[in-house]
Chain A
Amino acid sequence: MSILINKDTRLMVQGITGREGIFHAAQMLDYGTKIVAGVTPGKGGDWVLEGKVPVFDTVDQAIAATGPTCSVSFVPARFAVDAMLEAADAQIPLLVCITEGIPVQDMIMVREYLDRAGARLIGPNCPGLLTPGECKVGIIPGHIAEPGPVGVVSRSGTLTYEVLYALQRSGLGVSTCIGIGGDPVIGTTFLDVLELFEADPHTESVVLIGEIGGTDEERAAEFIGDQMTKPVVSFIAGQTAPPGKRMGHAGAIIEGGSGLASDKIAALESAGVSVATTPDAIPELLA
């Protein structure tokens, strides 16, 4: 009933002893995620979360001892690049980077390296993934989604929660929810996730939550028009943002006339996507 993560996912948490790392590791564990290892250089040999999770100094040691299939990183921005490269070198197939504030030029280098290494990255600056009832990797609150047939993919963090919450109140369940992150350079894109949802037999429809800046939504629209058989519903944040103003993340910038919400909405609608005017309007468009 899911893509990328499920009840068999064996999770490693990089930066597990930090303030955010330990708080969210506890929440993931409570949700039922199998956390097999934590990594914090210098804290190897400790056990955290009431002795349930062993901590290692290096990713290599964690892999040798526990065999994780996915890594989530809460490592602070200055060290986050190394954490991603270390996990990719150790051949972990799925990396999730929650950390915000990583310089763009660093991400260009990381993305190029990961592509060559064949690793998949979700993020950075993202809320992670949630397969309701099975596994939570990252910081999406677990109690706002039930298992079901709707795939959710989003560039935003908290706006994703807003949409999940609206789906839950309407009695609609979710196969997997993926926050891909709002930075200018990210790992997995809308297009990649749409391909996965299209191929997943348990996902019947998809909600795509975009925002101003870049052209990822337009490229997603092209794929939806040409190749998707499943219905897609969308919301684009920033419809009322004044052009030229920077709205928070590096990603959400309207520059030189491209990246406008109106362009994205037009592209999605011409691909047959129903675009909601408010997040609360999404469930009725799915019905």
Chain B
Amino acid sequence: MKLHEYQSKQLFAQHGIPIPRGRVAMTASEARAIAEELGGRAVIKAQVLVGGRGKAGGIRLAGSSEEAEELATQVLGMRIKELPVRKVLVDEAAEIQTEIYLGVANDRAARTPVMIASMDGGIEIEEVARKDPERIVRVWVDPFLGLREYQARNLATSMELPRQLWSEFARIASGLFKTFLDADATLAEINPLVITDAGKLLALDGKVILDDNALYRHPELADLRDIDEEVAPEREARKYGLSYVKLNGDIGCLVNGAGLAMATMDVIKSFGGEPANFLDVGGGAAAEKVAAALKIILADETVRSILLNIFGGITRCDEVARGILMALAGIQRRVPIVIRLVGTNEEEGRKILAEADLTTAASLNEAAKLAIAASRVEAVG
């Protein structure tokens, strides 16, 4: 779960990291009032959960509170990558001398958290990582010891941070690592961490991604979820614990297991079809969950045929079959459905589906070909 910039920076502040003064506004007049409190000059920043805000014109500098209101009106009316902007962060404008990158994530290969820093912070950091990898410095953190002060100092010295900022930098690094740990994050980054004209460090922008599997022990963070930022099918999918990603094709896919779901998409593509979505119903899915999944796909008007590929292990085919019947009973729209059902309780599953109007397939390849053919038949009536 991604947090907004303003939410991320609030977490940073709770861990002693200096952030600019400012608050979130839902309306332009609120933005004006906040800018007035800040002395007039302010930055208006769109709060949306996608990258590329700056390039889209979602970050604007206002010289006065009147201008802040005007710019906030513009930004609040924008859509950035199709997402409407519903909130803006109004921050005091900082005088920037240098932009630093500082982040923590898990290194899968090393199986420990890693802290990454660079003097070349800002929006081009990924470009820097690709072109000048030696400009990026890293320290790996022992999970039982946490980030030690000498490690933060090592980052500061190897990135050639001015000496007078070392102790302040170490404090911020330690605060960021604690944020990462305490929030059960998979990513916590400050980009940029700026050196101001006054020679102070300030976390100007930030991003935190939380581990969905750990949200149960952070109810206060789970409440930060911005459901306005989710499109309807994704919200519906999350409610039922389904993984759903909308894609551009016309063949709806309903599969148990992420690996098999991806392989099913690969097979469809290899025979010349285009998947309309990725959908993993997960392990041990009950009938209600399968029904919810099928309804999400049936509600997608770009879907011309549906491929259900279920290989029962912990999932039981009879439960899946019951879910399919539940979904079909509640929906008018008819789309050709090809089903491939194998594994735990497959006989029971097939019996339940015997009455339903479905095409059955024995193998994944056959199922994919049938689904592709069905998607190309002109709809009649």
Contacts and interface: CB of A to CB of B under 8 A. Distances in A.
A and B associate: yes
Contacts, number: 172
A214 B109 contact: yes
A161 B313 CA distance: 8
Contact of B259 (A112, A155, A242): A155
A280 B363 contact: yes
A140 B313 contact: yes
Contacts of A77: 213
A277 to B, nearest CB: 5
Which bracket fits the contact residues of A?
35 or more
Contact of B108 (A106, A112, A161, A215): A215
Contacts of B186: 104, 250
Nearest to A248: B258
B108 A144 contact: no
A156 B109 CA distance: 18
Contact of A219 (B109, B247, B278, B282): B109
Given A112-B111, A158-B311, A158-B313, A277 B270 contact: yes
B181 interface: yes
Contact of B314 (A20, A105, A212, A240): A20
Given A103-B214, A235-B263, A250-B213, A109 B144 contact: yes
Given A103-B211, A215-B109, A279-B364, A256 B266 contact: no
Contact of A237 (B113, B263, B314, B342): B263
B262 A108 contact: no
Contacts of B278: 241, 245, 247-248
Contacts of A216: 108-109
Nearest to A187: B111
Interface string B95-132: 00000000000101101110000000000001001100
B344 interface: yes
Contacts of A157: 257, 259-260, 283, 313-314
Contacts of B258: 156, 182, 211, 247-249, 252
Interface of B: 106, 108-109, 111-113, 126, 129-130, 142-144, 181, 184, 186, 211-214, 216, 243, 245, 247, 255-263, 265-267, 269-270, 275, 278, 280, 282-284, 311-315, 342-344, 363-365
Interface of A: 20, 24, 27, 77-78, 98, 100-106, 108-109, 111-112, 127, 139-141, 144, 154-162, 165, 182, 184-185, 209, 211-212, 214-216, 219, 235, 237-242, 245-250, 252, 256-257, 277-280
